[in-house]
């Protein structure tokens, strides 16, 4: 249907602007064109694509379903093109003066930033790194606004204008304070599986940045036909560690972080009584940065540091 021979790139930019603004006046402002020029371009688009694209509704234009379906892929394609045309700039880590903004939970403050900091300090002393912990679901928006260069989060359906790469699958273990009375009384040594009955009878603390009492452990228990008592929710993983170390509450906790922190945090690791599906952690960024040499360099560093977390064979999560 679409007649690509009568399309030029500027028409696609007009279409993108119209989809963003929902108005020829707004699109004109965005493109530095007059309203009649945008209207004429829209006419050419309609002819070339064989679709009305927008219909008037009150004081504005409403996209047809065809136009709506183009929005994400079109924007992604234009941004990709933009980065292609920008060409590969040179990036010299030793000389670069740059700030990188990464969003992710405090899990990454522990598991990524120390190693990343050590590497950057050595290889790229002019770089500054900022890790911000955003309310969940705001990571993608922050990428779009370009407040953040890279977001670290569980994989889900990401918008078409983003690109992502898998980092590792996070496994979960149970943590409790060393010498936990109920676990000791049950004759359990660290590394052993906590029986379901006992696991469900103990109080739990979980990490939830937005303050929920329901976590993936509850989903796993529901599948097993059981439930637990979540008595506390804390917004950061480090807080969960502190609470577990100071109380008789137990927690489901990322294995890698638990292993790293257990020697100094006064906690012991146990196996949960039910299977908990691992969570795929990914890094996601704006497509326009895909070819950016500095960004590529940073992604390489993050990938190198975090990928091994998924490769370690972890005895504490068997069962």
Partner DNA sequence: CACCCGCGTACACGAATATC
Partner DNA sequence: GATATTCGTGTACGCGGGTG
Q: Which residues bind DNA (CB under 7 A)?
A: 8, 10, 23-26, 32-37, 39-43, 54, 56-61
Grouping H, G, I as helix, E, B as strand and the rest as coil, residue 177 is strand
Q: How far apart, in whole angstroms, are the C-alpha atoms of residue 147 and residue 152?
A: 14
Give the span between the Cα atoms of 104 and 153, in whole angstroms. 6
**Number of neighbours of residue 202 by Cβ within 10 angstroms:** 19
66 versus 158: smaller Cβ distance to DNA: 66
| Cα–Cα dist 197/56, whole Å | 63
What is the closest distance, in whole angstroms, from the C-beta atom of residue 272 to DNA in the complex?
56
Q: Please identify, using beta-carbon distances, which residue of 27 and 230 lies nearer to DNA.
A: 27
CB of 68 to DNA, least distance (A): 16
Rounded Cα distance, 213 and 222, in Å = 14
Question: H-helix or E-strand containing 100?
Answer: strand 98-103
> What minimum distance in Å lies between the beta carbon of 254 and DNA?
50
In the complex with DNA, which residue's Cβ is closer, 28 or 217?
28
Kindly state the smallest distance separating residue 65's Cβ from DNA, in Å: 17
**Which residue's CB is nearer to DNA, number 38 or number 150?**
38
CB of 144 to DNA, least distance (A): 23
Measured distance CA(290)–CA(299) in Å, rounded = 10
Residue placing its CB nearer to DNA in the complex, 7 or 236: 7
Nearer Cβ to DNA (43/136): 43
Q: Minimal distance in Å, beta carbon 290 to DNA?
A: 29
Cα gap 243→44, rounded to integer Å: 64
Query: What is the C-alpha to C-alpha distance for residues 299 and 307, in angstroms, rounded to an integer?
Result: 11
Element (H, E) at 262: helix 255-265
Joined together, the tokens standing for residue 143 give: 């990428």
Comparing CB distances to DNA, the nearer of 54 and 168 is 54
Q: Please give the full DSSP string across 127-156, using - where no structure is assigned.
A: EEEEEE-PPTTHHHHHHHTTS-SEEEEE--
Least distance between DNA and beta carbon 158 (Å): 31
């Amino acid at each position: 249907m679409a007649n690509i021979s009568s399309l030029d790139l500027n028409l696609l930019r007009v279409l993108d602007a119209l989809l963003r603004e929902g108005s020829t006046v707004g699109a004109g402002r965005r493109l530095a064109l007059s309203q009649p020029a945008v209207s004429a371009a829209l006419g050419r688009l309609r002819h070339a694509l064989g679709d009305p694209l927008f219909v008037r509704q009150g004081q504005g234009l409403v996209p047809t379903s065809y136009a709506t379906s183009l929005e994400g892929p079109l924007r992604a394609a234009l941004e990709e093109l933009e980065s292609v045309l920008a060409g590969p700039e040179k990036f010299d880590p030793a000389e670069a003066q740059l700030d990188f903004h990464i969003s992710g939970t405090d899990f990454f403050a522990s598991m990524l930033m120390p190693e990343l900091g050590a590497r950057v300090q050595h290889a790229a002393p002019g770089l500054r790194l900022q890790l911000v912990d955003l309310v969940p679901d705001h990571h993608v928006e922050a990428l779009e606004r370009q407040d953040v260069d890279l977001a670290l989060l569980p994989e889900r359906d990401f918008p078409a204008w983003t690109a992502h790469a898998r980092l590792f699958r996070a496994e979960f273990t149970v943590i409790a304070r060393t010498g936990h009375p109920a676990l000791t009384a049950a004759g359990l040594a660290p590394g052993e599986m906590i029986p379901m009955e006992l696991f469900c009878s103990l109080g739990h603390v979980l990490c939830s940045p937005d303050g929920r009492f329901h976590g993936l452990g509850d989903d796993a228990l529901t599948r097993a036909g059981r439930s637990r008592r979540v008595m506390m929710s804390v917004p950061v993983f480090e807080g969960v560690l502190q609470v577990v170390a100071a109380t008789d509450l137990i927690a489901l906790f990322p294995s890698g972080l638990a292993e790293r922190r257990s020697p100094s945090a006064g906690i012991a690791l146990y196996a949960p009584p039910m299977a908990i599906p691992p969570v795929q952690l990914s890094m996601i960024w704006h497509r326009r940065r895909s070819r950016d040499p500095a960004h590529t360099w940073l992604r390489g560093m993050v990938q190198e540091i975090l990928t091994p977390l998924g490769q370690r064979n972890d005895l504490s999560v068997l069962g």
